Amino acid sequence: MRRHPTPFAILAGGAIAGALDIAFAITFAVLRGGTAMRLLQTIASGLLGAAAYDGGWPTAALGFVLHFAMALLIAAIFCLASRRLPVLTRRAPAAGMLYGFGVFLAMRLVVLPLSAYPHPVTFAPLASALDLGSHMFFVGLPIALAARAAGKPAG
């Protein structure tokens, strides 16, 4: 039987996770009085620092591209790890949510502090809880489910 290739799992999982996560982030930002452009510039600020906020839509577009590049990288890491550790796809929902938790911690404790992100990394209760939930359900879970689907025979 034909199987979905790992690249398909990476692309599908990364694209779905990236779309769900950015939709959540933009919605949360707008509900708090922000704009989609400002949220996307905030992502770009990890590379450009505070200058990202002066770049208008071009830096917002860069933030959009960077967001999806990170989502694809995060998906690739999980998908490749799942080929060595089949339990990750056998228990995809739990593994995906745990992976999302790990991604949340890695972003907050490693990636942001080591980047040019010009703001202090905080753990405000509501924002952190929602961001954690987003990473668990909108990032880790779809990536794990895509990896599991890639490992099953097509039917």
Question: What six digits make up the tokens of 128?
Answer: 């952190």
Backbone phi, then psi, for 3, in 5-degree steps? -115, 150
Q: What is the rounded CA–CA span in Å between residue 48 and residue 66?
A: 11
- Give residue limits of the domains in the chain: 6-149
What does pLDDT average to over the chain? 94
Contacts of 115 (CB under 8 A, 6+ apart): 46, 47
Say what the pLDDT of residue 17 is. Answer: 98
Q: Give pLDDT tens digits for 90-115.
A: 999 999 999 999 999 999 999 999 99
pLDDT score, position 151: 79
Q: Model confidence over 119-133: pLDDT tens digits?
A: 999 999 999 999 999
Mean pLDDT of 69-88: 96
Q: What is the pTM of this model?
A: 0.93
